[in-house]
Structure 1
């Protein structure tokens, strides 16, 4: 995604190459850029796409026991191709032109 590190981008490239080899070089790979996805890509997700923060600090490590609920803020954009992106939970993230969802983690 847009906020991925160079290491994560490199790992993605390496793993996609390995997967392609494992599948006998038959797959065709298409690259999509977060925030500028093609209409064809968005048609695969008729209910929209949600971008979540992740990576080394979340998806690859176990959560701390007893850490409590995690609050998240999502900004929702689009009419035909709806996208929801996670934003920093602070007042500066809000604006008057978009819809926002506050997940209290409960």
Structure 2
């Protein structure tokens, strides 16, 4: 089975800015290196990390980091289940609502 060449980004996914990403992560922000250092890739490299990633907020209030595997430079992702934490989910929902309002204002 061949690896995908592009990330699958759902229409409901929102690309997060650095500040929004930090707000949702809260205290977990200090563990970001653990998240980016623990990825699944079939390349076999022992030193693989997620690099050149962009954070997205999905409709479950979870964060998806879409980037590249440092070992083989093909696409890789890391899923962080922030939506299970009620405090983080509340912040994520507020950010989602702000993005919706911003989108409406731009289209008017």
Larger radius of gyration: 1
Return the TM-score normalized by structure 1: 0.29
Structure (1 or 2) with the greater helix fraction: 2
Return the TM-score normalized by structure 2: 0.29
